[in-house]
Amino acid sequence: MSTKHFLYLIFKLLFVLSLFFCFSTANSTDNEDKNLMGLVSTCYSCHGTLGNAVGNMKSLNGYKPEKFVSKFNWFLKKPYNGGVMHTIAKGFTEKEIKVMANFFATQK
Q: What is the mean pLDDT of the chain?
A: 78
CATH number at residue 86: 1.10.760.10
Which domain, by its residues, includes 46?
A: 3-106
Which amino acid appears at position 1 of this protein?
A: M
Band the pLDDT of 78: cuts 50, 70, 90.
Answer: confident
Segment 1-17 shows an average pLDDT of: 69
Instruction: Return the higher-pLDDT residue of 39 and 80.
Output: 39
| Pairs from 46-50 (Cβ < 8 Å, separation ≥ 24) | 46/14, 50/107
8 A C-beta contact, residue 51 and residue 107: yes
Answer yes or no: is pLDDT of 64 > 90: yes
Instruction: Return the higher-pLDDT residue of 13 and 29.
Output: 13
Q: How many domains does the chain have?
A: 1
**Distance (Å, whole) CA 45 – CA 66:** 23
Segment 49-60 shows an average pLDDT of: 83
CA dist 92 to 18, 38, 56, Å?
11, 12, 25
Instruction: Return the higher-pLDDT residue of 64 and 3.
Output: 64
